[in-house]
Chain A
Amino acid sequence: MTKHISIGQRIAAVVLALAGASSWAAGADQQLIKQGEYLARAGDCFACHSVNGGKPFAGGLGMATPIGKVYSSNITPDKKAGIGDWSFADFDKLMRTGVTKAGYTVYPAMPYPSYSRLSEADMQALYAYFMHGVQPDPTPNRKSDIVWPLSMRFPLTIWRWMFAPKPVPYQAPASSVANTANAQLLRGAYLVEGLGHCGACHTARGLGMQEKALSSLDSREYLAGGAVIDGWTVPSLRNEHGGGLAAWTQADIVAFLKTGRNGHTASFGAMNDVVAHSTQYLTEADLASIAGYLKSLPPKNNAKPFASDPAVGQALYNGKPATEGALLYLNKCAGCHRSDGQGYAKAFPALAGNAVLQTADGTSAINIILSGGAVPATHTAPSALTMAPYAAELNDDQVAAVVNFIQTSWGNQGGTVTAKQVAKVRKTAVPVQPLTAAAFAAGRSDTLPRPVVAAGPVDKRDTK
């Protein structure tokens, strides 16, 4: 603990020594703050602790839970509204145990069970960043909409006792991760299981809203796909068929996390923010580590690999759609995704063999047809290619027919859906939002994380 305090004091001394609040950082401390900034991106703190158009990390984002809406807190160094008067020990305790400086336990929307794995050095860097790399903002925290008695915080303490792991800094496991000698795998595990908190969405939750597994060591439930979030099916990230990453190379995973797209698919739904705010900023080395780690996770399911079936594509090409779904697909979808479902590289995602369409739950397919989707714009792949919503074009029966066509054609092995399911998704489907003039307004960069990586060389793989 002495060490932590000494680092905190050292930074405070530097701050005091400098005349202006904006010129705080110098030398090694600036390095520490930069490292913290990088880690904050890896942890995607921005995504939950900022609202669109608000100040970064000022909190206020509402998150729906089964018992009511909770709002993220202000984690800027504002002394009153934020965490400006927190010591490193306070910060460390919250990050590892979910217990605030004031002594109450936060809602498990804050993935402290994952963050508990952070190394001491990284925790110190994060603290340095939040104390000295973020602008203080006086926006007060917002109370949750959860009504009494569910609003009582003490059950959260019990939840924590039951499900949160013992908070110890991350230790490389002795034996269980395949190839533990491989530093890259360990780095990948550290990022995915720790700051990346991928399991928060991609691992199924138990009855108490706890993630069924918190690391690859726990069980094959880990990252085997979670519940539907905001109308999007959350796929498996394990090296398995039937919705997982088995058909992707490590390079495909890196490209996806860096640019939101690869030759197989394009990001949509909740993953867009993760790519835009977090993964695009990670170094190639860290992305490769994540990819290597994910590819090392053995399958949980026993799905067979995708086997292409050319019959449907040929029928469409010859203008002979066999079903209403096929005809709708030909009229509405094939212009981009093509009659053989192959799409066009990174521009228009392939549907044949697309992992999303191999899952039993067709919710994502329903939602993307109703709501449309936009690929997240990133620094190295800035085009937010957008598919327009079809909610106004197709009724529930028609959407179901198209979904069932794409989930089962060309060799796809996804599950089918009913018009009733479509009607249910329709109630909460949010149409893809167009860009507005605000996307080019002055000061827009103040509400977004600043780019820390220069745009890389253009990826020419889809250039014929």
Chain B
Amino acid sequence: MADITLKKVEVVIVGFGWTGAIMAKELTEAGMQVLALERGAFHDTYPDGAYPKTLDELTYIQRSKLFQDMSKSSFTFRHAVSGVAVPYRQIGAFKPGTGVGGAGLHWSGQHWRVLPEELKLKSHYEHRYGKKFIPEGMTIQDFGVSYEELEPHFDFVEKVFGTSGSAYRVNGKVVGEGNFFEADRSDHFALPPQKVPYTAHLFQKAAAEVGLHPFVAASSNASGPYTNPYGCQMGPCNFCGYCSGFACYNYSKASPQVNIMPALRQVSNFELRPNCNVLRINLDGSGKKATGVTYVNADGKTVEQPADLVIASTFAYNNAHLFLVSGVGKPYDPVSGEGVVGRNIAYQTMSTVQMFFDPDKNTNPFIGSGGNGVAVDDYNGDNFDHGPLGFVGGSPAWCNPAGVKPIAGIPVPNGTSAWGAGWKRAVKDNYANTVSFDVHGANMVYRDCYVDLDPTYTDQFGQKLLRFTFDWKDNDIKMSRYVTDKMLDVARAMKPKSIHVSVKNFGDHLDLRSYQTTHWAGGTAMGTDPKTSVLNRYLQSWDVHNVFAVGSSVFPVGIGYNPTGLAAALTYWAAKAIREQYLKDPRPLVAA
């Protein structure tokens, strides 16, 4: 029983990052009384991003100022269904955020839409390459929503985020030097592209030389002063290099704090309660309707918060955890292949190429902006013929000078000793003479890569931890090696002294110790079939119609790009359905 039972609210939002903030804005606009519950502390640009104190790598990165405290709650991992999972005790491969703003406060600002074919991955591959092309055990499927349906939302997200970029094609007309492969847009970016730093310029030149289509990547790091449709302001980025892992002190990196919360503060039908850890969504006797949520407040008291509508907007996999502990939807069983919650967990398949030059290159790696850089999409999605290659998926690649920081490490060439005078000399020689780019690959979904509740380990509230069963698969390693190999042409065209490549080998297992990326997806997949998805195309639970989930957890497959732009657009898509269809007549919006 709860220690406290509160008065009912119309909408309760669980988790207050980007998608929670977007839902709060949309539903308060619709006149609803909205309460957002955030497990972590209150954060704001000031003082969390106060200059110059925020430029502190040790505090923010190594000591995880804005990240989840792994001593209170974590996840367990195993590589195979037969294995025993153990907890992720220190932040390494991925950096889960916590607190108001969520990962939206400490993200870098890389802002992408999605390739249209990735929204219908299964039907696209079957159509172009035949049903047999998709390997056994790969469970890719379609989102159930088209690029055309999402386009107005992608456009609006870019206007809310103050995204800087160059369009290629607007309303069918080629208008600029943007991404040749990008789908049609209804408008330009909110701001012109950011300036191209030197290393990205070298990459751009080399990529063009080898016949690729380089473009300045879109970033939600403002290239100029900006006021968004909510009246919220941004200041132009000054390339300080402290984006990912930090709260931007300069109002330059889009965040819920900068782009949405000022507007929410002005409306009386919005309330935010930080330090409130939601334990579960409560269901009525039928199990078909949510009655609200139960959470633990800052004083450790258990609070029952009744609500008419529940929005699960926790970080990625946590939506699956919330559904599993609440009994919303049937848990996935990898043996029978039945059930859906926890299914289709995706990550990304990264590789990195570093080029070392003679000491006069002066690449000034301290200059950086989180989302800024030059990218190529020639090997992303299905922009190249997969027929003879025998793998599904692709990789965008980019030179993204985001600010090299000393503790995280300065790249040194192969063969450098790991410590001592030799290492010091190599750092000195190479710090300002290195160019690096990433191959940011998609990661497909598989029958035996999923999340469920761990049978052994619990969190600070005694709840079972989320257990990941996940490992790399040959398809993705094959893809990553192919694209990385192709991209080495670009590296060689820069004529470096030496090249260092970090790419996965066949048989490599997921290694949680070194940073990969925080882009997990899936667990509460959206889709067209309740047998393979948790949510319908409007992100509404198939089973409990007054529960919606938003965030990258709804992706049924991994995508090549970073997830934020798509997660945000899908949230506006769901909000539109709630505002225009659900509130008028609360019911399942799609017949199961």
Q: Is the CB–CB distance between B231 and A335 below 8 Å?
A: no
Let me know if B265 and A388 touch, CB within 8 A: no
Cβ–Cβ < 8 Å partners of B271 in chain A = 440-442
CB-defined contacts of B235 to chain A, threshold 8 Å: 336, 344, 347-348, 385
Chain B residues whose C-beta falls within 8 Å of the C-beta of A384 in the assembled complex:
262
A380 B234 Cβ-Cβ under 8 A: no
**CB-contacts of B247-289 with A (<8 A):** 249-251, 258, 261-266, 268, 270-274
B67 in the interface (beta carbon within 8 A): no
Distance (Å) between the CB of A258 and the closest chain B CB? 12
Q: In the docked arrangement, what's the CA distance between A135 and B339, Å?
A: 56
Q: Which residues of B contact A372 (CB under 8 A)?
A: 46
* 8 Å CB contact of A382 from B35, B52, B230: B230
B236 surroundings in chain A (CB, below 8 A): 344, 347
CB proximity of B6 to chain A, nearest CB, Å: 10
| Docked complex Cα distance between A122 and B50 (Å) | 46
In the complex, chain A residues whose CB is within 8 Å of the CB of B265 = 377, 382, 435, 439-440
Let me know if B226 is at the binding interface, CB within 8 A: yes
Is the pair A437, B227 in contact by a Cβ cutoff of 8 Å? Answer: no
Binary B-proximity of A326-360 (CB < 8 A = 1, otherwise 0): 00000010011000000011111000000000000
Establish whether residues A437 and B272, one from each chain, have CB atoms under 8 Å apart when the complex forms: yes
B384 at the interface (CB under 8 A from A): no
Binds B, one of A197-205, A295-303, A451-459: A451-459
Closest-CB distance, B553 to chain A (whole angstroms): 25
A381 contacts chain B at the CB level, 8 A cutoff: yes
B523 to chain A, nearest CB (A): 28
Q: How far is the CA of A393 from the CA of B234 in the complex (A)?
A: 25
Contacts A381-B233, A385-B235, A437-B273; A444 near B268 (Cβ below 8 A):
yes
Q: How many chain-B residues does the 8 Å CB contact rule pick out? A: 45
Docked-complex contact B227 and A335, CB < 8 angstroms: no
A445-464, CB < 8 A from B: 445, 450-451, 455, 458-460, 462-464
Cβ-defined contact, B263 with A382, below 8 A: yes
CA distance A384 to B231 in the complex (A): 11
Nearest A residue to B269 via CB reads A445
Are B52 and A459 in touch, CB under 8 angstroms? no
Q: What is the minimal beta-carbon distance from A442 to any residue of chain B, in angstroms? A: 4
Question: Which residue of chain B lies nearest to A445 when distances are taken between CB atoms in the complex?
Answer: B268
Secondary structure dominating the interface of A: loop
The contact of A381 among B44, B231, B234, by CB within 8 Å, is B231
Residues of chain A from 348 to 402 with CB closer than 8 A to chain B in the complex = 348, 372, 374, 377, 379-386, 388, 393
Complex Cα distance, B52 from A382, in Å, reads 24
Tell me if A171 counts as interface (CB < 8 A to partner B): no
Within 8 A of B (CB), among A220-246: none
Q: Which residues of A contact B515 (CB under 8 A)?
A: none
- Which of chain B's residues has its CB closest to A456's CB? B231
- Whether the Cβ atoms of A345 and B270 lie closer than 8 Å is no
Q: Bound state CA distance, A332 and B53, in angstroms? A: 12
Please name all residues of chain B whose beta carbon is closer than 8 Å to the beta carbon of A459 when the two chains form the complex.
227, 231
Which of B250, B273, B274 is in CB contact (< 8 Å) with A336?
A: B250
| Residue numbers in B under 8 Å from A440 (CB-CB) | 261, 264-265, 270-272
Q: How many pairs of residues, A versus B, come closer than 8 Å at their CB atoms?
A: 113
Q: For B231, give its contact among A345, A374, A434, A458 (CB under 8 Å).
A: A458
B326 beta carbon closer than 8 Å to chain A: no
Please name the residue on chain A nearest to B234 by beta carbon.
A347
Contact with A along B342-359 (1 / 0, CB 8 A): 000000000000000000
Q: Is B270 in contact with A388, judged by CB distance below 8 angstroms? A: no
Bin chain A's interface residue count.
35 or more
User: Using Cβ atoms and an 8 Å threshold, which residues of chain B touch A388?
Assistant: 46-47, 50-51, 53, 249
B248 to chain A, nearest CB (A): 12
Q: How far is the CA of A437 from the CA of B53 in the complex (A)?
A: 22
- Expressed in whole angstroms, the Cα–Cα distance for A384 and B258 within the complex equals 9
Contact B232 A383 (CB under 8 A): yes
* A393, B52: Cβ atoms closer than 8 Å: yes
Chain B residues lying within 8 Å of A450, measured Cβ to Cβ, are: 268
Does any Cβ of B come within 8 Å of A432's Cβ?
Answer: yes
Evaluate contact between B224 and A380: CB separation under 8 angstroms.
no
Judged by a CB distance under 8 angstroms, whether B192 is at the interface is: yes
Are B231 and A346 in contact, with the CB atoms below 8 A? no
Cα-based distance from A344 to B42 in the complex (angstroms): 28
Give chain B residues whose Cβ lies under 8 Å from the Cβ of A463.
190, 225-227
For B268, the closest partner residue in chain A by CB is A445
Q: How far is the CA of A440 from the CA of B263 in the complex (A)?
A: 11
Which chain B residues border A455 with CB–CB below 8 Å? 231, 266
Indicate if A52 sits at the interface (CB-CB under 8 A).
no
**A23 contacts B by Cβ under 8 Å:** no
Q: Check: B238 CB closer than 8 A to any chain A CB.
A: yes
**Chain A residues with CB below 8 A from B191, complex form:** 464
Q: Considering the complex, which residues of chain B in the window 28-48 have a beta carbon less than 8 Å from any beta carbon of chain A?
A: 35, 42, 44-47
Q: Does B130 make an interface contact (CB < 8 A)? A: no
Q: Is the CB of A344 within 8 A of B224?
A: yes
Which residues between 209 and 244 of chain B lie within 8 Å of chain A, taking CB atoms?
224-236, 238, 240
Contacting residue for B258 out of A346, A377, A383, A439, CB 8 A: A383
A383 to B228, CA, bound (A): 11
> Could you tell me the distance in whole angstroms from the C-beta of B209 to the nearest C-beta in chain A?
32
How distant is the Cα of A380 from the Cα of B263 in the complex, in angstroms? 9
On whether the beta carbons of B262 and A434 are closer than 8 Å, the reply is no
| Cβ of A361 to closest chain B Cβ, rounded Å | 27
The chain B residue sitting closest to A439, CB to CB, is: B265
Judge whether A2 is part of the interface by a CB distance below 8 angstroms. no
**A436 interface contact, C-beta 8 A:** yes
The answer on a CB contact under 8 Å between B266 and A451 is yes
A332 touches B42 (CB 8 A): no
Query: Which of chain B's residues has its CB closest to A450's CB?
Result: B268
Which of A374, A377, A444, A464 is close to B225, meaning CB atoms less than 8 Å apart?
A464
Query: Considering the chains assembled together, what is the distance between the CA atoms of A458 and B35 in angstroms?
Result: 26
B225 / chain A contacts, CB cutoff of 8 Å: 344-348, 462-464
Query: What distance in Å separates the Cβ of B570 from its nearest Cβ neighbour in chain A?
Result: 25
Q: Assess the A374–B224 pair: CB atoms within 8 A.
A: no
* A-chain residues with CB within 8 Å of residue B190 when the two chains form the complex: 463
List residues of chain B with CB within 8 A of the CB of A374: 46
User: A421 CA to B543 CA in the complex, in Å?
Assistant: 69
- Least CB separation from B47: chain A residue: A434
Per-residue contact bits, chain A 157-170, to B (CB 8 Å; 1 contact, 0 not)? 00000000000000
Q: With a CB–CB cut-off of 8 A, which chain B residues contact A445?
A: 268
Measured between alpha carbons, how far is A451 from B265 in the docked complex, in Å?
A: 12
**A464 adjacent to B224 (CB under 8 Å):** yes
Is A434 a contact partner of B51 (Cβ separation < 8 A)? Answer: no
**Identity of the chain B residue whose Cβ is nearest the Cβ of A393 in the assembled complex:** B52
**Closest beta carbon of chain A to B572's beta carbon, Å:** 18
Q: Which of A336, A383, A434, A442 contacts B233 (CB 8 A)?
A: A383
Q: Nearest chain-B residue to A375 (Cβ)?
A: B233
Minimal Cβ-Cβ distance residue in B for A460: B227
Take A348-B235, A382-B230 as given contacts and tell me if A434 and B46 are in contact as well, using a CB distance cutoff of 8 Å.
yes
In the assembled complex, the CB of B235 is this many whole angstroms from the nearest CB of chain A, namely: 4
Contacts of B240 in A (CB 8 A): 335
In the assembled complex, how far is the CB of residue B99 from the closest CB belonging to chain A, in whole angstroms?
11
A382 touches B238 (CB 8 A): no
A335-B51 contact in complex given A345-B225, A458-B227, C-beta closer than 8 Å: yes
The interface bits of chain A over 280-310 (1 if a CB of B lies within 8 angstroms of the residue's CB, else 0) are 0000000000000000000000000000000
Chain A residue at minimum C-beta to C-beta distance from B54: A388
User: CA separation between A439 and B35, bound complex, in Å?
Assistant: 14
28 contacts between A and B (CB under 8 A): A335-B250, A336-B238, A336-B250, A347-B225, A347-B226, A347-B236, A372-B46, A377-B266, A381-B227, A382-B230, A382-B263, A383-B258, A384-B262, A434-B47, A435-B46, A435-B265, A442-B271, A445-B268, A450-B268, A451-B266, A455-B231, A458-B229, A458-B230, A459-B227, A462-B225, A462-B226, A462-B233, A463-B190
Task: Identify the 5 closest CB pairs spanning chains A and B, nearest first.
Answer: A445-B268, A382-B262, A440-B272, A347-B235, A388-B50
> A347-B235, A388-B249 are known contacts; what are 11 more A-B pairs with Cβ within 8 Å?
A381-B233, A382-B230, A382-B231, A382-B265, A434-B46, A437-B42, A440-B261, A441-B272, A442-B271, A458-B231, A463-B227
